[in-house]
Amino acid sequence: MDRIRNVALVGHGGSGKTSLAEALLFTAGETTRLGRVEDGNTVTDFEPEEVERHISLGLALASFTWKGHKINLIDTPGYADFIGDTRSALRAADLALFVVSGVDGVEVQTEILWHLAGEEGIPRMVFVNKLDRDRSSFTRTLDELRDVFGKSVAPVQVPIGKEADLRGIVRVVSNTGVLYEENNPKGSDTAPPDEMADMLAEVHEALVESVVETDDELLEAYFEGVEPSRDKMVEVVHRGIVEGQIHPVLCGSATGLVGIDALAEFIVEFGPSPLERAPIPLTGGGTLEPSTDGPTVAYVFKTTSDPYVGRISLFRVFSGSVAADDVLETARGSKVRLHNLFFQQGKEHRDAAKIPTGDIAAVAKIEDLVAGDTLRTPGSDIEIEPIPFPEPVMSVVVSPKSAQDEEKLSTALARVVEEDPTLRVERRSETNETILSGMGDTHLDVTVARMSRKFGVEVDTAIPTVPYRETITAKAEAEGKHKKQSGGRGQFGVAFVRFEPLPRGSGYEFVDEIKGGAIPRQYIPAVDKGIQEGLERGILAGFPVTDVRATVYDGKYHSVDSDELSFRMAGILALKAAAPNLRPVLLEPIMRVEVRVPEQYMGDVIGDLNAKRGRVLGMDSDGRMRVVTAEVPLAEMQRYAIDLRSITGGRGTFSMTFDHYEEVPHQEAERVIANAQKDD
């Protein structure tokens, strides 16, 4: 287990994570050519949608061997819409390697993921990439990293040369240089250039400061003018990484193959093994320590569907081991036999007989497994706490393009939700729409494309109808009289009903005040049912009516002609008769919205929220980000994911949850009612 390294490549979209994975695999001899994202031929971006868009849309696994160690890479998407897969990857990893562009510096998604990795207890290190590009700067990026994440960010390498002249790196601790020839990933040792002496001294001092601050004895000695030895530095750096007190910074170029072998070497020598991972939280409290001889405990962090293999479940073994044909139990109590075990190398599969503690593998054709499941020795009660995923922020209506698609739609929706826990599907009875919700427009577009490719379902999408409600603001009484005679037995039922408004959020209340048998007891529930049917159909614009008390206080019946249908109709007619005097109004759902943006966008974001009829409740700071909390009508938030990206250049994120219903302003209500009547 001490010779396994599980590394999640994380960071903002476009920083070069997939290119770095490709460079590591090529340098280690796992591939014979260096794939390019632009050419669609990398190991970890193999889904058709990824090849088409030139971005990672889901996590992917690949591994390589370096100096007798197995390094499992989990390449993750950097686009905010697909943060669910990145969160899943952090649960399976022991180290988060943040890839930061030397051109663009620290971007918003890097900051978000940095905090998520900290919450998961995962050690973090940084690779400053793209240092061979124009306008790249290692020193500027390092200053920004230390400014954003603090002095625990410690440079352990610096580049030799810059931009197009990047030709090597210097290891700060040993003060040795490594030079690279073009297209050759294996560097040759050399002495650092003389002109770098001042810069190296400054960086060395920054590293020493980061190191001594993790150890009281070293700090005291440092104040007395004594620096730690090289061996002590190595020891403390490793411990500091594992404990999350030091975040080393390395550098190079993935596409230029500069610093890649030094990165692999650093991961092997300094990266935490599965033995050193933070304990995993368990459902119900407590934690799980990694153990080679304990009962088997594995965590399913991702499921996917393969058109040829079927359901594929990716899992990490946290205790014990998993062997082919083992029978394990899920926390739901179902037994599963693991027939088809394998390691994933992008889209390729490598058969596996046994998965040791700390390793990552996959199993095929087990329909019962979903992301978040714990696999365990039968009889064990251990359950790893599932990952908390963010709530969706954008929704579309999905409808089948043909009758044939309609038959397959529900199955396809169920499968994509199982594969991606950040998706939600609901059927809104009040609007008769099937709603697919996700993390943004790209997320939903990709999901629809995958439904077509994997499950053969073609769908149309549209903006959902806002689930308005109606309510009443006045009290009124009315008679509902249903009388029908057609030669034989007739229908007769009369109900006198009083309607009155209830406080917001109360729902519907039915009161029976019948005395003296004016309506037989067996027919009173029918009156209630009829009133509820009428309320469901709406008074103003066809939306359900809520926050109403209906009291039936008198009525009439006929011993022969009265029945349940008669009194159900009487309830409907009573509401219809009272409606003109109830002063109905339209209610709209109000969402509680939290927007995170860099400070320079605050004014534009607040102005936009005000234009959306929003009420800003407060503003706060979280590091370099500003957090705006507001209440905004759902009608104005349907496309906010797109609006916010446009306002902030992709640097803003938001979350929203339903808060309450509120009366729609008169002018807006007139527009909604007119549209509803036109549709009818």
Q: Note the pLDDT of residue 270.
A: 92
Can you tell me the distance from the alpha carbon of 72 to that of 51, in angstroms, rounded to the nearest whole number? 22
Q: What is the CATH number of domain 4-276?
A: 3.40.50.300
Q: Which residues, other chains included, contact 300 with Cβ-Cβ below 8 Å and sequence gap of 6+?
A: 313, 314, 315, 369, 370, 371, 372, 373, 374, 375
**Among 56-60, 188-192, 224-228, 453-457, the least confident range:** 224-228
Q: Note the pLDDT of residue 218.
A: 85
Q: How confident is the model at residue 680 (pLDDT cuts 50, 70, 90)?
A: low
| Average pLDDT value for residue range 375-384 | 92
Alpha helices (H) along 156-214: 197-212
Alpha carbon separation from 344 to 72, 414, 443, 501 (Å, rounded): 10, 25, 24, 61
Can you tell me the distance from the alpha carbon of 316 to that of 6, in angstroms, rounded to the nearest whole number? 10
| Average pLDDT value for residue range 200-220 | 85
Q: How confident is the model at residue 487 (pLDDT cuts 50, 70, 90)?
A: low
Q: What is the CATH number of domain 290-376?
A: 2.40.30.10
**Among 48-57, 219-228, 377-386, the least confident range:** 219-228
Pairing of strands 653-663, 584-598: antiparallel
- pTM, rounded to two decimals: 0.86
Residue-wise pLDDT for 537-548, tens only, equals 999 988 999 999
| Average pLDDT value for residue range 131-143 | 95
Q: Is 92 exposed, middle or buried (0-12, 13-18, 19+ CB in 10 A)?
A: buried
Taking every pair of Cα atoms in the chain, the longest distance, rounded to a whole number of angstroms, is 112
Residue-wise pLDDT for 8-49, tens only, equals 999 999 999 999 999 999 999 999 999 999 999 999 999 999
| Average pLDDT value for residue range 659-676 | 91
Strands (E), 372-430: 374-376, 394-400, 424-428
The 10 Å CB-count burial string (b at 16+, else e) for 371-401 is bbbbbbbeebebbbbbbebeebbbbbbbebe
Asked if the domains 397-462 and 587-679 are classified in one and the same CATH topology, the answer is: yes
Domain boundaries, given as residue ranges, for the chain:
4-276, 290-376, 397-462, 470-582, 587-679
Can you tell me the distance from the alpha carbon of 96 to that of 116, in angstroms, rounded to the nearest whole number? 10
Q: How confident is the model at residue 485 (pLDDT cuts 50, 70, 90)?
A: confident
Q: Which residues, other chains included, contact 26 with Cβ-Cβ below 8 Å and sequence gap of 6+?
A: 33, 34, 185, 257
pLDDT at 624 over 80: no
pLDDT at 308 over 80: no
pLDDT at 309 over 90: no
Alpha carbon separation from 232 to 174, 218, 238, 273, 365 (Å, rounded): 12, 9, 10, 20, 50
Q: How confident is the model at residue 331 (pLDDT cuts 50, 70, 90)?
A: confident
pLDDT at 406 over 90: no
Task: Indicate the SS3 state at residue 369.
Answer: coil
Residue 519 DSSP one-character state: S
Q: What is the CATH number of domain 470-582?
A: 3.30.230.10
Reported CATH class of domain 397-462: alpha beta
Q: Which residue has the higher pLDDT, 193 or 650?
A: 193
Q: Is domain 587-679 given the CATH code 3.40.50.720 in the classification?
A: no
Contact in structure between 318 and 356 (CB atoms under 8 Å):
no
**Among 364-368, 392-396, 426-430, the least confident range:** 426-430
363: nearest Cα among 379, 373, 385 = 373
